[in-house]
Structure 1
Amino acid sequence: MLQLANILHTQGFKITIIHTQYNSPNYSNYPHFTFSSISDNGFSEIIKQLSVNSDASYYLTHLNNSCVDPFRNCLAELLATYSDEDPVACLITDAVFYFTQAVADALNIPRLVLRTSSLGCVLAYGFLPISFEKGYFNLPKEDYETRVSEFPLMKVKDLVKITINPQGMVDLVTNMLNQMKASSGLIWNTFKELEESTLETLCKDYQIPSFTLGPFHKYFPASNSSLIEQDRTILSWLDNQAPKSVIYVSFGSVASITESEFQEAAHGLANTGLPFLWVVRPGVVYGSEWLESLPENFLERVGDKGRIVKWSPQQEVLAHPATGCFWTHNGWNSTLESICEGVPMVCSPCFVDQPINARYVCDIWKIGVLLEDGFERVGIETTINRVMMDEEGEEIRKRICCLREKVNLSLEKGGSSHQSLKNLVDYILSL
């Protein structure tokens, strides 16, 4: 959302950002924006209860229920401060905050929706209710390899990964998709050439203007929108590594894994014998502060071949000539960043949209390899070697480099994303 705000600011719009108290942005990083904080009604305390059994739908539903009054009051006050000569053009909200549509309607302001996932994710989410009704979420493990008949790209094990609370997720997704259709337009952080057939399908269901102007992060030099402090010392370490030799590992800012999965990952990385840069976010292992769950003598075993940091300047790491592959959770930002730098992926999706993104990466675009058996050291070593050392990896690299070229063309004058941004600006001014 901050990246989109920056993009629209360059087009002449004044930006006011309404945000919850939890995970508040650093205002000093955005002196060109106005910020307004609203109460999240205790969400900061609720989020501390995150555990291995937590589910995204619970927290997102809580926010949709608890933020209605604070958001309405804040928006009404903001609207009252603007004159007829300098009116508010529109409201843009994340799609998952579906409650904002009713508020926008009540205050007579057009609402545009930013969906921060892939187009394919939204297509797949549309099939979640019927998958739930057909009992896919309750099938035994011996049926996990079964394809979902309504959406054959997905296996049952992918659906199970999306959520541990199927009813809650179905309710959340249903509300989100319905309010997307009720909005004045859709903004996507993707580019047309990557998901053209999916865009055509969605446009039949969502008969409102749609704008694919991504990847957002490519509009500016390396992004400053990270909410976590980056360790930049690893860039000099990368400078001393051979081209395309380093395994970069990061499971994003939200996903967490178990202690046994963490240890299997460590053994798998060490067994490759290849240099690696591993982002271990504090809390990425349930109940862990940071590195105490590493196997005994692990750091001594890998020596200078392995670097572990709390957070990294990911775009710069992926763009570095030494980076050879990206072991990722397949969050959409990470997936797009890997495509933009032409870096093949090893995929370990955790939840919500990540299993869907991973299937597109591996089975549709064929620019990565999925760790089908999860975190298991032999499988990790074998899969990484397939991507880094084998002919298969070279073919993957060629395909993702081709997509990288398409990204760059889409952002040039006359390209699909460049034109989509122009169309969005014209549309906002017409509302």
Structure 2
Amino acid sequence: MAGTARRVVMFPFPFRSHIAPMLQLAELLRARGLAVTVIHADFNAPDASRHPDLTFVPLHESLPDAVTAAAAAGDLVEQMLALNAACEAPFRDALIRCVARRDGQVACAVVDGQWYAAITAAAEVGVPALALRTDSAATLHCMLSYSRLCSDGYLPIKEETRDEVVPTVEPLRGRDMIRVDGSDAARVREFIARVDDAMRTAAAGVVVNTFVAIEEPELNKIMRHHLPGRPAFAVGPMHRLLAVPEEHGLHEPDGGCVAWLHARPPRSVLYVSLGSVARVDRQVFDEMALGLAGSGVPFLWVIRPGFVADGAPPLPEPMAAVVANGGGKLVTWAPQRDVLAHPAIGGFWTHCGWNSTLESICEGVPMLVQPCFGDQMVNARYVTHQWGIGMELGEVFDSERVAKAVRKLMVGEEGAVMRNKARGLMEKARQSVEDGGASTVAIDRLVRYMLSSKCST
């Protein structure tokens, strides 16, 4: 089988939140009889030992100082632009070598949607390239609408229109549009324009880690208005289609999290984690800590290395006292899926990264949203206003507002309504990955497309 199977070449973007969904898709394709080669950057390389049935090919790219300098400065967009420039030629060469191999004809490439240069390079080599979007369909629709919104004068957003809904991307307001603090706004627009151009001119289709029950209108807009004639496959939540352990990347999870939760009553604990990239300053950290301590709600708080911009600060005394008395637990990393699935968890204070949002939906856990950058702004708006399964903390908050919001989510009537809605979406997510469910059918349809004459070298 391995000698004759058609081969798919995959290229994940080298950020943890992008690598995990790409490898999930790789395993789903392998389980359906396709051979899979994963080309990857040495920068933030995936752990090949966890995927013995996949073939891994490192790029051995030479990264310019701009990549490390941008990372050190917190300039995410400059880093992504530099990565695209540095990895385009090595990817092209690696793909050509894959095509020349004799252990299975290359059917297509699946390239992370942020690799705009690689999507174009694959098409130039003659390999059909499907773009994998590890964010939501709403985010992709927003990105592909940017050029039109700029030409129509809606972007850049003006201060007086920040709270107005933006036409064609409803329910997003001006304040919900994609932005990246720490990056130049013009460079953000340039990056989005390059992604847009690659999607429209070079991508053979798009694969999205979402499910139809929550994003059918957005998927339809992508196919009708942005990528007519090309397929879109909604194949999520992919982590629910696979019975594999969670991958934790650079951080080792605290093994005591789940045991600590065992001693807590059902739906009593607030889980707090702002992801693997977001950073806050000391003042925000102190307000978070004092608000949690003053809420009276038990909490499990992930404070990873680098989370506070100025280094690990001492805990405010009220927070230290609550933790010492067993009312809260602080960890440097947590096994998030296990935590969210635990019956003691009643809410999730989240940055609204798409992986975290999907994982919370899959466990029926309502959210307290604090988006930091990028697609998180879009996701937060959908969580709070489209799906009604969360509430906003606001862009500026103090400890009293934090404590009030935490209590409202965890023990208030409004939180109970959101919890019921979240459980409804959990059931829809479960149905989507059952045999015959929409996402399971989409994966099978994706494989057929990869093997068809419509997607062939």
| Equivalent of residue 95 in structure 1, options 110, 113, 116 | 113
Residue 131 of structure 1: how far off its partner (Å): 4.8
* Aligned CA distance change for structure 1 residues 374 and 13 (closer, same or farther; 3 Å): farther
Residue 369 of structure 1: how far off its partner (Å): 0.2
Residue 223 of structure 1: how far off its partner (Å): 3.3
1:285-321 C-alpha deviation (Å, 9 max, x unpaired): 1131xx4243246323432111111111101100000
Residue 113 of structure 1: how far off its partner (Å): 0.9
State the partner residue of 1:24: 45
Deviates more, 1:237-246 or 1:11-20: 11-20
- Whole-angstrom CA distance in 1 between matches of 2:86 and 2:178: 28
1:26-61 C-alpha deviation (Å, 9 max, x unpaired): 22111111111113422687336535x633221111
- Whole-angstrom CA distance in 1 between matches of 2:261 and 2:69: 35
Supply the AA of the counterpart residue of 1:55. Answer: D
State the partner residue of 1:54: 74
| Equivalent of residue 232 in structure 1, options 248, 255, 265 | 255
Residue 81 of structure 1: how far off its partner (Å): 2.0
- Whole-angstrom CA distance in 2 between matches of 1:398 and 1:287: 39
| Equivalent of residue 250 in structure 1, options 273, 280, 286 | 273
Secondary structure of 1:79 counterpart: helix
1:251-308 C-alpha deviation (Å, 9 max, x unpaired): 11111111111111111111111110011111111131xx424324632343211111
- Whole-angstrom CA distance in 2 between matches of 1:137 and 1:102: 27
Residue 231 of structure 1: how far off its partner (Å): 1.6
Verify the 8 A CA contact 1:329 1:349 in the aligned structure 2: yes
* Aligned CA distance change for structure 1 residues 70 and 373 (closer, same or farther; 3 Å): closer
Verify the 8 A CA contact 1:2 1:225 in the aligned structure 2: no
Aligned residues: 425
Identity level (%): 36
Gaps of 5+ in 1: none
Supply the AA of the counterpart residue of 1:327. Answer: W
Q: Is residue 70 from structure 1 mapped to residue 93 from structure 2 by the alignment? A: no
| Equivalent of residue 174 in structure 2, options 148, 156, 161 | 156
Q: Is residue 198 from structure 1 mapped to residue 218 from structure 2 by the alignment? A: yes
State the partner residue of 1:282: 305
Supply the AA of the counterpart residue of 1:97. Answer: W
State the partner residue of 2:296: 273
Verify the 8 A CA contact 1:22 1:44 in the aligned structure 2: no
Alignment of 1:28-427 (within 5 A): 28-42=49-63, 46-47=67-68, 49-50=70-71, 54-83=74-103, 86-132=104-150, 134=153, 136-137=155-156, 139-140=158-159, 144-149=162-167, 151-159=169-177, 161-163=179-181, 164-181=183-200, 182-204=202-224, 205-207=226-228, 208-221=230-243, 223-227=245-249, 228-288=251-311, 291-296=312-317, 298-303=319-324, 304-427=326-449
- Whole-angstrom CA distance in 2 between matches of 1:167 and 1:223: 40
- Whole-angstrom CA distance in 1 between matches of 2:145 and 2:231: 22
* Aligned CA distance change for structure 1 residues 363 and 138 (closer, same or farther; 3 Å): closer
Deviates more, 1:236-245 or 1:150-159: 150-159
Deviates more, 1:348-357 or 1:35-44: 35-44
Secondary structure of 1:352 counterpart: coil
- Whole-angstrom CA distance in 2 between matches of 1:191 and 1:391: 29
* Aligned CA distance change for structure 1 residues 277 and 233 (closer, same or farther; 3 Å): same
Secondary structure of 1:226 counterpart: coil
Supply the AA of the counterpart residue of 1:22. Answer: F
The Cα RMSD (Å) is: 2.0
Deviates more, 1:256-265 or 1:329-338: 256-265
Deviates more, 1:312-321 or 1:69-78: 69-78
- Whole-angstrom CA distance in 2 between matches of 1:269 and 1:3: 35
Deviates more, 1:338-347 or 1:192-201: 192-201
Residue 151 of structure 1: how far off its partner (Å): 3.6
Secondary structure of 1:50 counterpart: helix
Deviates more, 1:66-75 or 1:183-192: 66-75
Residue 185 of structure 1: how far off its partner (Å): 1.5
Supply the AA of the counterpart residue of 1:9. Answer: R
Verify the 8 A CA contact 2:289 2:315 in the aligned structure 1: yes
* Aligned CA distance change for structure 1 residues 43 and 360 (closer, same or farther; 3 Å): farther
1:35-90 C-alpha deviation (Å, 9 max, x unpaired): 11113422687336535x6332211111111111111111212222235xx21121
- TM-score normalized by the length of structure 2: 0.88
Supply the AA of the counterpart residue of 1:107. Answer: V
Verify the 8 A CA contact 1:162 1:355 in the aligned structure 2: no
- Whole-angstrom CA distance in 1 between matches of 2:219 and 2:51: 33
Supply the AA of the counterpart residue of 2:52. Answer: P
- Whole-angstrom CA distance in 1 between matches of 2:47 and 2:145: 38
Gaps of 5+ in 2: 1-21
